[in-house]
Amino acid sequence: MNSFKALGGAYGVQRVLARETKGPTDASRLVVTCATAGNHGRSVAWGAEMFGCRCAVYVPAVTSPARVAAIAAHGAAVSRLPCNYDEAVRRCDDDARRQGRFVVSDTSYPGYLQVPRDVIQGYSVMVAEILEQLPHGDRPSHVFVQGGVGGLAAAVCAHLWESWGDERPRTVIVEPDSADCLFRSAVAGKPTPVPGDYDTIMAGLAAGEVSLLAWKILEPGADWFMTIPDAAAEAAMRILAEGAAGDRPIVAGESGAAGLAGALAAVHDAKVRRQLQLHSDSRLLIIGTEGATDPQSYSRIVGRAPDSVRSSSSGGT
């Protein structure tokens, strides 16, 4: 799937089928549906393909052709709408109610909580694997994690909170400065939408409204919220592709590099560094959440094709 979404959307499909069908033969009558900027819809379509049900996916106007093609490759019917992501979510929900489809969304809204809860549970597998791989007693002091509607951030925050309680790392949520619904909500003290089309290269984070379920976790659990411009994400993508400071080159997409971009912005700003309590002995956990989900866009930003970056990393340590 080339992104963390593989852990959520497909699992959400499986849970819907477990509740609504009596077995694989019965699954073929059911249609799952979602709205997406790319990665979530690809995971839902993959899940539908694996488990034998049908799939209809709605994408906002700005979704790239490469991301649409990746969704359709799994047999989903894809509808491009002349609107932004949040309006696509509402259209998807309206159509599902009329046509008897089952929404498998990574965002939650009034009256719709069960499936997004399943999706967040799916994401938490990644956090569990991280904790298993940490040496005994070795814990990060800070976690920088991407925002979007908040599902991933909530999964990371909740799992660390449940595992380590008050000793959990400080959580920093990173968003595009043009799609900062979580940041605005933190400032206002309640879910606050972003007006307009919130144009950003970080397509997976281009959301104007928070997931209500995620907000229930992030409002009390996250420590800081920050925003970054598109240029910061582009710079982080190039740093990872170059293998800076002797590191192995890594292919990271626009949204996938956002956490690193936020961390770099923080450590290079003395005021922010003090606010976040970042010191020379701080240990930062940063999760790369996607590869080059749009290879053409990646090549334009980095100056090299994803395969070229991957081949240069084959001999690294």
Q: Which domains, from first to last, does the chain contain?
A: 4-112 (3.40.50.1100), 139-311 (3.40.50.1100)
- Separation between Cα atoms, residue 304 and residue 288, nearest integer Å: 19
pLDDT tens digits for range 40-93: 999 999 999 999 999 999 999 999 999 999 999 999 999 999 999 999 999 999
Residue range 266-296, pLDDT digits in tens: 999 999 999 999 999 999 999 999 999 999 9
pTM for this model (two decimals): 0.92
Give residue 71's Cα distance to chain centre: 16
Question: What pLDDT was estimated at residue 317?
Answer: 36
Question: How far is 189 from 192, CA to CA, in rounded Å?
Answer: 8
Q: Which residue positions in the chain have pLDDT lower than 70?
A: 313-317
Of 258, 100, 297, 249, nearest in space to 179 by CA: 258
How confident is the model at residue 3, as a pLDDT? 93
Residue 24's pLDDT is what? Answer: 72
Distances (CA, A) of 81 to 27, 62, 78, 108, 203: 27, 9, 10, 20, 15
